[in-house]
Amino acid sequence: MKAAVYYSQKDIRIEDLPTPNISNNEALVEMKACGICGSDMMEWYLKNRAPLVLGHEPAGVIAKKGSKIKDFDVGDKVFVHHHVACLKCHYCLNGDYTLCEQFHNTHIEPGGFAEYFKVPAPNLQIDTLKIPENLTFEEATLIEPVACCLRAINKCGVHAGDTIAVIGSGAIGIIHVTLAKIFGATKIISSDIVDYRLTAAKKFGADVTVNPEKEDLKEIVKAETDGLGVDVAFVTAPSLEAYKVGLNICRKGGTLCVFAPTQPGENLQISPKELFFSEVQIIPSYSTSHVETRLALELINSKRLKLDGLITHRFRLEETAEAFKTASENKESLKVIILN
């Protein structure tokens, strides 16, 4: 089978790999669409594992199933989550599914950017979802990123009446904007250094957009919140400066959401004294679980979450290298997906 093998950000090769063999409790899925995630752009995160096949936002069709599989049939349209928790350990029993050891050890094989991938038994049992007939494969690729944002929204306690700031208005930032609206936020301030993304954020529900290279985000937040600051600031840009700004625009008792990791060795200096007296909470949100993927599918399928136009570029599997170049360099792109 054909697969896009990642050697580095600028070295992605289409290679012939063996089609995975499956056991009697696994399934083989023919990939139909798979999104490129921001984490696929983090070379520092990937270089020690290369070469590898990326792609963890896949949707496809079950091409083959093991003899013990009862809940799925060949031909079923499915979304497959690449990581699943054990549901039994201390972390899982406390709802911290993404900290579970099994969560980090499970993955689809070899990855979503391949003609076929294997779904291990835990993934098939816990977080493989049938895609409704009226939902396209392209729409289904958004389940995983939407679920990640849902987890962050829930962890940070966004509710009706909140004022929200989203720093970084790429695809993930825009999903935060749309979800915050659904959760009842009354004012959403979206920030980015790319005007195209700000225009898109406005289209998807942002009330105020700010380019911090042209305007003072902190002053605008003050003006929009009667000097208080935002209730929650989601930082979706992997930038120390973004986190500094995020802290500065939170109100007393507000929340800073750590949604994007910075490079190793980059550290944010925080005063415990200031944190103590301001009572600003810092809440990280990594990945997502079987809880949020189901809600994400429901929101997308019901059309409550309207993301038409978020996917801006589509490439064939053979064009994966060009797709990565577009995702990393094209300032007028939001979500880039691979089709098979």
Q: What is the CATH number of the domain that holds 273?
A: 3.40.50.720
- The rounded average pLDDT for each run of 10 residues, N- to C-terminus, in the chain (340 residues) is 96 98 98 97 92 98 97 98 98 98 97 98 98 97 98 97 98 98 98 98 98 97 98 97 97 98 94 96 98 98 96 98 97 97
| C-alpha span between 205 and 188 (Å, rounded) | 8
Residues 18 and 140 placed together within one structural domain of the fold: yes
Domain termination site, one of 264, 284, 304: 284
Element (H, E) at 167: strand 163-167
Beta strands in 91-162 (DSSP E): 116-119, 128-130
Tell me the pairing of strands 77-80 and 58-65.
antiparallel
Q: Are 59 and 72 in contact (CB under 8 A)?
A: no
> Is residue 210 situated within a structural domain?
yes
**pLDDT score at 314:** 98
Would you list the DSSP string of 278-312?
H--EEEE--S--HHHHHHHHHHHHTTSS--TT-EE
> Is residue 206 situated within a structural domain?
yes
DSSP secondary structure letter of residue 207: S
**pLDDT score at 118:** 98
Residues 119 and 166 placed together within one structural domain of the fold: no
> Is residue 151 situated within a structural domain?
no
> Is residue 93 situated within a structural domain?
yes
**pLDDT score at 303:** 95
Q: Domain range spanning residue 312?
A: 2-146+288-339
Q: How many CA atoms lie within 13 A of 111 on its CB side?
A: 20
**pLDDT score at 139:** 98
Instruction: Give residue for tokens 């599918």.
Output: 297
Residues 114 and 26 placed together within one structural domain of the fold: yes
Predicted TM-score of the model (pTM): 0.97
What is the chain's length?
340
> Is residue 152 situated within a structural domain?
no
Count of structural domains within the chain: 2
Question: Which CATH number do you get for residue 308?
Answer: 3.90.180.10
3-state secondary structure (DSSP) of residue 39: helix
DSSP secondary structure letter of residue 186: S
**pLDDT score at 280:** 98
Residues 269 and 304 placed together within one structural domain of the fold: no
Residues 168 and 140 placed together within one structural domain of the fold: no
Q: Are 10 and 118 in contact (CB under 8 A)?
A: no
